[in-house]
Amino acid sequence: MPAEAAATIALIDYGAGNLRSVENALKAAGGAPTVTADPDIVARADRIVLPGVGAFAACMGGLTAIPGMVAAMETAVMERGAPFLGVCVGMQLLADAGHEHGRTPGLGWIGGDVRLMTPAPGCKVPHMGWNDVVPAGDHPLIVPGEAYYLHSYIFDVADPAERLATTDHGGPITAAVGRDNIVGVQFHPEKSQAYGLALLARFLEWKP
């Protein structure tokens, strides 16, 4: 079991549909996540995981509906430097805005916008199933492999240096973003079998 397993791993509960599956995957990777909607716990947490499935606007609305939660996340991640992992829509919420059912402001931690995927010839939307993860460079969390995707919206990252990985679906699309102590993945580690569990295990030991 990783040495960090005894530390507080805050798995934020804001109504995201994949909460329990992410919780179980973190446990399988050696962690002991605390499922919480308490901003005080999040503000003090050693590591933070933000899950998410569904519409950007609904997820952002659920997050902001918890008084003090966004501020607690900023305290932990931006001020204290706690390692952060966003999963699927939890990754997309890092953007400046999402363009689903109108424009919805995001957290603004990673510059860029989330927009509807444009179908390419021979490619279906949503992008669903197993596909490659192609790292853009060396990163302790993001390694080559195959992961499970399920999404119709993609993160157009403003700074290419903050796009950590791509996958191909009628052209390159963002598979992972990040900077400093922040990482987000478009794929679902909790559905990506050995590859996903290994990523979560690396996150539990990550010291950015």
Q: Which residues are catalytic?
A: 88, 188, 190
**Cβ pair 100, 55 in contact under 8 A:** yes
Query: What's the longest Cα–Cα distance across the chain?
Result: 49
How many alpha carbons lie under 13 Å from residue 180 in its C-beta half-sphere? 9
Residue position matching structure tokens 């991640």: 77
Can you tell me the distance from the alpha carbon of 163 to that of 123, in angstroms, rounded to the nearest whole number? 22
**At residue 58, what are phi and psi to the nearest 5 degrees?**
-65, -40
Beta bridge partners of 104: 98
The CA radius of gyration of the chain, in Å to the nearest whole number, is 16
Can you tell me the distance from the alpha carbon of 200 to that of 15, in angstroms, rounded to the nearest whole number? 21
